[in-house]
Amino acid sequence: MNRGRKSLLLIRIWAVLVLLALWVGSGLAGAPRNVILMIGDGMGYNTVRAAAYYQGASLVFEGFPVKYAVSTYPRGGGYDPQKAWASFDYVKSGATDSAAAATAMATGVKTSNGRVNMTEQHRKLKTIVDLFSEQGKATGVVTSVPFSHTTPACMAAHNGNRNHYAAIAREMLAGPLDVIMGAGHPDYDDNGQRVTIKMPGAYKYVGGPFLWAALKNGTSGWQLIETKRDFENLAEGKGLKPGAKVLGLARVRHTLQQKRGWDTLAPPYAEPLNSSVPTLAVMTQGALRVLEQNPRGFFLMVEGGAIDWAAHGQQLGRLIEEELDFAQAVAAAVEWIETHGGWEKTLLIVTSDHETGHLWGPGSGLPHTFAPLVNKGPGRLPGAKFFFAEHTNALVPLYAKGAGAELFAGYANEVDPKRGPYLDNTEIFQVMLGKAAWRIPVKKGKGLEKSAATWKEAVGF
Ligand SMILES: [Zn+2]
């Protein structure tokens, strides 16, 4: 090796080390003041399309300035864009579950399916909630399914098995979270009716009968709110005890709305909504009231949890209802941001943990036909079909706006022929901490410099 090449090599090593040091050392220092992560569980590109067609207008987050695709596979997996579009069936294998995907977003580490912030070697992983609360920031989770269910669990709990709901609930209620909202009420069914006979496991979602008793009698350290009116009052900033931790438990068993009634295959809103529970938007507003009290800022995760459940059930009507409820929660977050310091202070990320249902237009299928959904106008179900009842390994969409959203560009350094540049779900964690990518993402002439919008136009999606 001659002298010139040697010194060039040294300069390169030095540059990499400096970048690495900057990257590692940046810690939370570069993190936005507030981070709101909104996860549509099971939400794919066509989930968004179906709801937008039904609504007759784009969903609020489709207008965000930063848009990429995200790979979601669990530890040991992968995603091959060429294979994904060469065979309609490719994405039916290798899919993540919500636990591995939410762990990736909350910790930046890939694990195997079923694990809540635990590696295969049973090592506990520090989460975004742990990191933010260590900085004196407030933290919270909101969902439309039981609060101890997997996605909110992965923000704050650690367990080798996502189904250990009672243990997860106990850890969440003992930990740093300042606000927790969701379903999982032991005294009500899926229609919001009071149950008189308790089934085994009735208290699992709230951490067992003893913890429930403590929550009810006020000795748990949590302010428990349950009625729709209580949620609405909190959303308006009423009834808030300063400094109190708030558990908002909607009076319903599994979901706010998705499991109600008899005909879950009915068109959207054909069956009346449960009238005794808040919307996800009202819950989001209430959670923000609690979190905004902290002058140092906060992390909030909001999950549209039953989008996935509707897709597993092949319920197109309920899927659209859940997606629109989620979009309204995003609109509530946008309104809060625009009236509380603006986009310079808060990063808003809307994404998904995985696609569920392999939702495509009629006529899709073997060997490699991906037909678009058919828009039949507002208020009418689009032409769409579920081609799978489980999760897929398809890329999911990500929409972002606000403080630090530009950092996503540095991570979106792989390209899918139809979805455009994409990042990995673990990299969402890095952006939430305000960490810039140290890899150089842009290779001129390979299409990487094109925006997602350009890519979508080019392929007609
Ligand atoms: Zn699922």
Within 108-141, residue ranges assigned H as helices are 128-134
C-beta separation of 33 from 345 below 8 A? yes
pLDDT of res. 427 = 98
Ligand 1 center–CA 99 separation, angstroms: 10
Q: What pLDDT score was predicted for residue 446?
A: 39
Q: What percentage of the chain's residues is helix, strand, coil (to nearest 5)?
A: 35, 20, 45
22 found inside a domain: no
Residue 112 lies in a domain: yes
What residues pair up with 392 in beta bridges, in sequence order?
355
Mind listing the pLDDT tens digit of every residue in the chain (461 residues)?
Answer: 556 666 767 777 776 665 555 554 445 667 899 999 999 999 999 999 999 999 999 999 999 999 999 999 999 999 999 999 999 999 999 999 999 999 999 999 999 999 999 998 999 999 999 999 999 999 999 999 999 999 999 999 999 999 999 999 999 999 999 999 999 999 999 999 999 988 889 999 999 999 999 999 999 999 999 999 999 999 999 988 888 999 999 999 999 999 999 999 999 999 999 999 999 999 999 999 999 999 999 999 999 999 999 999 999 999 999 999 999 999 999 999 999 999 999 999 999 999 999 999 999 998 889 999 999 999 999 999 999 999 999 999 999 999 999 999 999 999 999 999 999 999 999 999 999 996 444 444 333 333 333 333 323 22
Q: What is the pLDDT of residue 198?
A: 86
Would you state the structure tokens that stand for residue 21, as one six-digit string? Answer: 């040091």
The candidate with the shortest Cα–Cα distance to 250, out of 286, 277, 273, 272, is: 277
pLDDT score for 12: 76
Spacing, Cα 19 to ligand 1 middle (Å): 38
CA of 163 to the centre of ligand 1 (A): 13
Please name the helix (run of DSSP H) or strand (run of DSSP E) that holds residue 142, with its range, or none.
strand 138-146
Kindly report the three-state secondary structure assignment for every residue of 299-344: EEEEEECHHHHHHHCCCHHHHHHHHHHHHHHHHHHHHHHHHCCCCC
**SS3 letters across 195-241:** CCCCCCCCCHHHCCHHHHHHHHHCCCCEEEECCHHHHHHHHCCCCCC
Q: How far is the CA of 22 from the centre of ligand 1 (A)?
A: 38
Cα–ligand 1 centroid distance for 98 (angstroms): 7
318 C-alpha to ligand 1 centroid (Å): 15
Residue 252 Cα to ligand 1 middle (Å): 20
Is 171 among the domain residues?
Answer: yes
Per-residue confidence (pLDDT) for residue 20, from 0 to 100? 57
Q: Give the per-residue pLDDT at 455.
A: 32
pTM over 0.85: yes
DSSP 166: H
CATH no. for residue 313?
Answer: 3.40.720.10
8 belongs to a structural domain: no
User: How far is the C-alpha of 67 from the C-alpha of 421, rounded, in Å?
Assistant: 9
**How far does the centroid of ligand 1 lie from the alpha carbon of residue 391, in Å?**
6
Going from the Cα of 103 to the center of ligand 1, the distance in angstroms, rounded, reads 15
Identify the pLDDT of residue 228. 98
Going from the Cα of 447 to the center of ligand 1, the distance in angstroms, rounded, reads 34
How remote is the CA of residue 61 from the centroid of ligand 1, in Å? 22
DSSP letter string, 33-96: SEEEEEEETT--HHHHHHHHHHHTS--GGGG-SEEEEEE---TT----HHHHHH-TTGGGSS--
Q: What is the DSSP string of 380-423?
A: S--B-EES-SSEE---EEEEEEETTGGGHHHH--EEETTTEEEE
C-alpha 42 – ligand 1 centre gap (Å)? 6
- Of 397, 400, 440, 438, the C-alpha closest to 421 is 397
Report the separation in Å between the CA atom of 381 and the middle of ligand 1, taken as the mean of its atom positions. 22
Contacts of 292 (CB under 8 A, 6+ apart): 298, 336, 340
Distance (Å) of CA 401 to CA 35, 409, 422:
11, 12, 17
Q: How far is the CA of 309 from the centre of ligand 1 (A)?
A: 6
Task: Please name which of 252, 249, 135, 245 lies closest in space to residue 195, comparing C-alpha atoms.
Answer: 252
Domain of residue 442, residue span: 34-459
225 CA from centroid of ligand 1 (Å): 28
CB 267 within 8 A of CB 108: no
Closest CA to 148 of 131, 132, 161, 130: 161
Least Cα distance to 34 among 290, 243, 248 occurs for: 290
Taking the centre of ligand 1 as the mean of its atom positions, its distance from the CA of residue 34, in whole angstroms, is: 28
209-217 vs 165-174: helix crossing angle, rounded to 10:
40
- Taking the centre of ligand 1 as the mean of its atom positions, its distance from the CA of residue 4, in whole angstroms, is 56
Q: What pLDDT sits at residue 239? A: 87
Collapsing DSSP to helix, strand or coil, 352 comes out as: strand
Greatest distance between any 2 Cα atoms in the chain:
84
Phi, psi of 94, rounded to the nearest 5 degrees: 80, 15
What are the residues whose beta carbon lies below 5 Å from ligand 1 (ion)?
A: 308
- Ligand 1 centroid distance, CA of 289 (Å): 30
The Å distance, Cα 23 to ligand 1 centre, comes to 34
> Could you tell me the distance, in angstroms and rounded to a whole number, from the CA of residue 172 to the centre of ligand 1?
21
Q: Is residue 1 part of a domain?
A: no
Ligand 1 center–CA 350 separation, angstroms:
18
**Distance (Å) from CA 356 to ligand 1 centroid:** 7
Give the model's pLDDT for residue 3. Answer: 62
Evaluate whether residue 193 is within a structural domain.
Answer: yes
Domain count, the chain: 1
Q: Distance, CA 275 to ligand 1 centroid (Å)?
A: 26
Q: How far apart are CA 168 and CA 205, in angstroms?
A: 8
